[in-house]
Structures are given as C-alpha cells and as structure tokens.
C-alpha cells in the first residue's frame, strides 16, 4: 500500500430536497475528484439532500410537513442511488464517503436515519454508519443507530471510519473507533459556527475560533492517531429553495472543510464561503510516527485498569440480534 495519499472533502451544495438533481451533481463531483487524483472523497452530513436548518424556527405542523420532504428526497441503502454512486466511484477510481438522509430498510417503516455510506473505488458498497444519537432537536427528524453502526471499513488506503457531528463529543464512541483499528477518519458537519456561552447558542460565522469543530477534530486525531478529513456543508443563499428562505434561520452552512494529521495539525486549513473540493496530500508515515510516541492501543494503554464494553447485538422489532462478522445483525 502506498504511503502517500490524496484525500479531500466535497464542500459543495446539494440540490436541496432534490434527490435526482443531487445525484447528478454528486456524480460530477466524484468525476472531478478522479481528475484530481484523489484516493478518498468525503461529502458532508446528510448531503443527500437536506439538513433541517429550520430547527427551532417553525411550528410542529410545519416541521412535520418538512420531514415528509426529507423522506421524499432521501435514499435507501442499498438502492438505485447507491448503485449509481458506486458505479461513479469505480469509473473515477475514488473511494467515497457520502452523508445522506437514509430511509429505513425495514418494510413498513419510513423512519429517516442520518447516515454515512462507504463506497470503495472498486465499486463495492462497503456499508453504512447511522448516527447513534441525533443531537437535541435533531431527534425529531432521525432515528438512532445501534451496535451494528460502530464500524470501520477496509479500503485499499487503510481502515476508514466516520462519525457525524456531535458523535465526536461522545467519549466512549471515540474510544470504540480506536479499538476498531481506524486509520483514516471522516468527520462530517452541517457547517461552522460561533458558540455564545453554551453549545445551544450557535450562529453561522466563518472562521469563528469558538466553534467546537476545530478542537474536536484535532483532539480526535491526537487521541486516535488518525488522519481526519473533515467535511462541512456549504449552502449559499442562491441554493436555498424559495419556499424555505424565511425558515432557514439555523443555516450554519458556511463551509469549514479541512484536513488534520495525527499530531492534530492542519494539513489543509479550513476553507469558508466557497464551493470546492478541499484536498491535500497526506503521508501515512506520520501515523507511524504518532504511534511511536503515543499508541492508544499499545504502549500508552492500560487495559488492566480501563476497558470498554461494546455491545455485540443490534435491536430489531423482535428483540436483540447478535452481530455477525462485519457488523451486520444476524437474520
């Protein structure tokens, strides 16, 4: 395996509430990533094809109606859209991680999940990660993942995993990803913000030093000795559907995508207010150096004193099911 890789974050605006339009644009972005020679491309949280930036600004009635629009623009995993995305990844020779609103694959359910889809550059759909705990009022919109979603995936560039937004503040989940052997981490977010006094008081501000994304991804890289590709939403006013202009009062989508090495240093500083692929060349030898100094799974661990129990079962309507090798629930 090569030690030099080119990785990037797709800081591009989807076609909001438009599944077909977003699919077409995504395929074009993957093709561009191929021309750039990227080995890995990461799209933001629920990039397919809406984040609820109206949170806290609309009535329960209106929120319910907007959930239906989220359902209509969501995708299934696997499904027609993932097949086309996998084919695009194969043609471009790019590994892809794509945030989406996912419709439940359980017959009869229309529950949405905040999901990351992992696609290999050989065109294989490797799997998914559903957000384990939607944050605050996000719980109105998305269901919760389970033990089958605590996974990393073997790609030709190494073991790749991902977490969604405030999952990066879940201490035990960060530890679980390290235990799974993650080497390259994908962090996805709805934008960048300033925090005023407490975490519930956010406003969009490009480059805000009070944003908790920067310390989260830099510390994640240090703690787990991973590279972090951080992908944030960018949604300019021109891309907001006219019917939503007065309701998107929580629009944090000012960009902020960046790349961090295992020492917690920026390989590519955050980029704001620009639609682009934010990319950088990384050297996997830097992870070896980090492990030589501080190995959270080896010489800097005390498993005799501290351990983590990861449940080996997923919950279904008929009760818990043990996980098979690969993280899937047994049938």
Examine the residue annotation and report whether 131 is marked as an active-site residue of this protein: yes
Active site residue 165: yes
Which three-class secondary structure state does DSSP give residue 119?
strand
- CB burial of residue 94 (10 Å; 0-12, 13-18, 19+): buried
Rounded-to-integer distance, Cα 38 and Cα 95, Å: 8
Helices 171-179, 213-224: axis angle to 10 degrees equals 40
E strand or H helix at 153: strand 153-155
Could you say which of 131, 167, 182, 247 is catalytic? 131
Rounded-to-integer distance, Cα 204 and Cα 253, Å: 7
Cross-strand pairs, 315: 320
Give the dihedral of Cα atoms 94, 95, 98, 103; nearest 10 deg: 110
Supply the Cα-derived Rg of the chain in whole angstroms: 19
Q: What is the DSSP string of 45-98?
A: TTTBT---TTTTTS-HHHHHHHHHHHHHT-B-SSSHHHHHHHHHHHHHT-EEEE
Catalytic entry in 15, 25, 32, 45 = 45
Residue 283 to residue 17: CA distance in whole angstroms? 38
All residues at 6 or more sequence positions from 317 whose CB lies less than 8 Å from its CB, including other chains: 106
Cα 45 from Cα 186, distance rounded (Å): 10
Residue in 96, 165, 186, 211 annotated catalytic: 165
Whole-number Å distance between alpha carbons of 5 and 226: 14
How many CA within 13 A on the CB side of residue 327?
Answer: 17
Active site residue 45: yes
Residues designated as active site: 45, 131, 165
């Amino acid at each position: 395996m090569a030690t030099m890789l080119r990785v990037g974050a797709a800081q591009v605006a989807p076609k909001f509430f438009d599944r077909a339009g977003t699919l077409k644009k995504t395929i074009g972005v993957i093709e561009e990533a191929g021309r750039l020679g990227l080995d890995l491309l990461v799209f933001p949280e629920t990039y397919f094809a809406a984040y609820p930036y109206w949170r806290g600004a609309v009535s329960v009635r209106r929120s319910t109606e907007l959930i239906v629009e989220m359902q209509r623009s969501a995708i299934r995993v696997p499904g027609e859209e993932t097949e086309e995305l996998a084919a695009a990844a194969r043609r471009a020779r790019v590994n892809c991680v794509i945030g989406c609103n996912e419709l439940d694959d359980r017959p009869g359910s229309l529950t949405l999940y905040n999901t990351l889809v992992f696609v290999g550059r050989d065109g294989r759909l490797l799997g998914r990660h559903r957000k384990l705990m939607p944050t605050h009022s996000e719980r109105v919109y998305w269901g919760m993942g389970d033990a089958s979603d605590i996974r990393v995936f073997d790609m030709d560039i190494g073991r790749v995993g991902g977490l969604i937004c405030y999952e990066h503040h879940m201490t035990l989940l960060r530890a679980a990803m390290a235990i799974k052997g993650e080497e390259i981490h994908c962090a996805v977010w709805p934008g960048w913000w300033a925090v005023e006094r407490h975490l519930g008081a956010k406003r969009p501000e490009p480059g805000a030093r009070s944003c908790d994304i920067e310390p989260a991804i830099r510390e994640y890289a240090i703690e787990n000795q991973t590279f972090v590709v951080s992908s944030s939403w960018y949604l300019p006013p021109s891309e907001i559907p006219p019917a939503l202009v007065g309701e998107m009062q929580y629009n944090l989508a000012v960009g902020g995508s960046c790349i961090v090495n295992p020492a917690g240093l920026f390989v590519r500083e955050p980029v704001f207010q620009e639609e682009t692929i934010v990319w950088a060349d990384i050297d996997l030898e830097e992870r070896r150096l980090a492990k030589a100094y501080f190995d959270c799974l080896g010489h800097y661990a005390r498993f005799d004193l501290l351990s983590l129990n990861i449940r080996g079962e997923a919950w279904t309507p008929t009760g818990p099911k043990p996980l098979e090798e690969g993280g899937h629930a047994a049938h």
